[in-house]
Amino acid sequence: MRRTVDTAIILLALVLIWQGLHVIVGETALPGPVPTLTYLARLVPTSRFAVNAAATALSFAYALLIAYGIGLAIGVWLGAHHLSGAVGEPILVALYSLPKITLYPVILLIFGLGVSGKVAFGALHGILPVALLTMAAIRNISTVYLKSARSMKLSHSQTIMTVLFPASLPEVVSGLRIGFTVTLLGVLLAEMFAAKQGLGFLIINAMSLLQTEEMIAIAVLLFAFAAVANAVLLWMEHQLHRRV
Amino acid sequence: MTRVGRIRLIVIVAAIAALELACRTGLIDHRIIVPPSEMVVTLVRILASGSINADIVRTLGIIAIAAAISVVLGFALGLLVHALPRVREALDPFFATYYAVPIFIFYPVLIAIFGLSLVPILLIGVATAIVAMIIATLNGLDRVPRVLTKVARVHRMGAIATAVQLQLPAAAPYLFTGVKLSVSYGFIAVIASEFILAPAGLGRDIADAYADFNNARMYALMLFLLTIATVVNTALHAFDLRWARRRGRGAP
């Protein structure tokens, strides 16, 4: 209880800092919390917002699906096959820490300026953490589990379904959580750099029109969405860890 | 070189050779990807001409400053938060969420406040990198043996002396993970900012080359940037592994 109150106090302090900055730098550069939130309340029901939010949501959903599919496949392969894992891991780690935005023009040249480019760029971000954490999850499975599966004479598919899958699940879910976060960032970056639709596009568009209220309102909304999604996935992860 | 290392080298070389071949035979359109050999030739020409020297200094300079601010300030804030357990508990949910929200979308807001200069880029770099350092500092301080803090109290050391002479070296292996992440995150944030909107810099150069349909230049600059990022990240990763071994564990 006290913890929740303390966290709420910090949240309140952040809002007060926001208000303070607003007073210092002025209305046009940084609108205060109250006008921004009332603006957000007016913005959300409009069709302009609905169209752009739907564009982002669609790209994000496709990108996430591809990132999870390819990421899990690579992760399982590199985790299960020892030599491939030893060869591939440093390459994946090196790719993971690259500033992938550098590669966005290549994606644009290949896929063009539509939805597919955004999807490809989002997926490009998500694949690596999902693959790396899935690989680690499978490697970290205790050998005792595998030995007991063998002594119980489980078939290959039984071993996968009843031993490997449940044992690696918690860590895999944490990979999916990080994949969710970076894929969203990838899609938004793609929309900010070059797009005709989407929330990232709205933010950049608002910047060029000096519509700071719209800019911050959308940023706050995306923050809230990402924070809630992260909390839900984190909660799932804790439940799974407790079960194992 | 180990067997695994040899295979890895073969895989990488084969991938580049396949790309080269696909470009040369026309399987991949020249307007989409230029052959890797051409990227290298163009890059050597650009570097020799010296035309991007100012941008190299600018971009790498901003990354270095952002990383340095993040490391120093992050360590100081980590010390402060660690000393206040109640504040730390309240902050925990924020730390757990920080890298889940796309902080970068605040870059346009910073441009609106500070104008189009290097200040917003530097700030977004610090904002992206500093929390990794704070979290690493907290992790490291959690693992400083209690006996050391008692020794400090026995010797009546002040807060600053304790921090610099005792907590810093004792937590150092963990702190290095924070340094590595700060540099890596700083790199990503600064390049992304320059890409979206910046008065100059390597990211801006690449975005300009893309807008001008100058693929040879674009790919050469990309190669340069990605090579630097890989070299820096690999060096930091190798150091981090050495520290990890020192603190008696296999991985960071």
A74-78, B63-67, B195-199: least confidently modelled range: B195-199
Please, are residues A171 and A136 in contact by the beta-carbon 8 Å criterion? yes
pLDDT at B89 over 90: no
**Which tens digit of pLDDT belongs to each residue from B95-121?**
888 888 888 888 888 888 888 888 999
Put simply, whether B95 touches A (Cβ < 8 Å) is no
pLDDT tier for residue B247 given thresholds of 50, 70 and 90:
low
pLDDT at B252 over 70: no
Closest CA–CA distance from residue B145 to any residue of chain A (Å): 26
**Which tens digit of pLDDT belongs to each residue from A122-140?**
999 999 999 999 998 888 8
Complex ipTM value: 0.81
**Which tens digit of pLDDT belongs to each residue from A2-56?**
778 888 888 898 889 889 888 888 777 788 888 889 999 999 899 999 999 999 9
Q: Where are the domains of chain B?
A: 53-246
Interface list for B 177-196 with A (CB within 8 A): 184, 187-188, 191-192, 195-196
Please, are residues B217 and B46 in contact by the beta-carbon 8 Å criterion? yes
Does the B53-246 domain belong in CATH 1.10.3720.10? yes
**Mutation to test the A interface, candidates B2, B105, B114, most A Cβ within 10 Å:** B105
Q: What is the mean pLDDT of residues B201-209?
A: 91
B173 or B10, greater pLDDT: B10
**Which tens digit of pLDDT belongs to each residue from A208-239?**
888 888 888 998 899 889 989 988 988 888 88
Q: How much is the pLDDT for B251?
A: 40
Closest CA–CA distance from residue A206 to any residue of chain B (Å): 9
Side-chain-side CA neighbours of A65 within 13 Å: the count stands at: 7
Q: How much is the pLDDT for B132?
A: 92
Q: What is the mean pLDDT of residues A187-194?
A: 88
What does CATH list as the number for A31-243? 1.10.3720.10
Q: Out of A6, A86, A227, whose CB is closest to B86? A: A6
Q: What is the mean pLDDT of residues B202-218?
A: 90
Q: What is the mean pLDDT of residues B24-28?
A: 86
Q: What percent of chain B has pLDDT over 70?
A: 97
Subunit contact B31:A109, Cβ cutoff 8 A: yes
Closest CA–CA distance from residue A154 to any residue of chain B (Å): 32
Q: Where are the domains of chain A?
A: 1-27, 31-243
The residue type found at A231 is A
For residues A190 and A114, what is the distance between their CA atoms, to the nearest angstrom?
10
Subunit contact B187:A93, Cβ cutoff 8 A: no
Q: How much is the pLDDT for A134?
A: 92
The structure's pTM equals: 0.85
The residue type found at A146 is L
Please, are residues B131 and B212 in contact by the beta-carbon 8 Å criterion? no
pLDDT at A158 over 50: yes
- One DSSP character per residue, B39-53 reads HHHHHHHHHHHTTTH
Numbers of helices and strands, H then E, in chain A? 11, 0
**Which tens digit of pLDDT belongs to each residue from B72-88?**
999 999 989 998 988 88
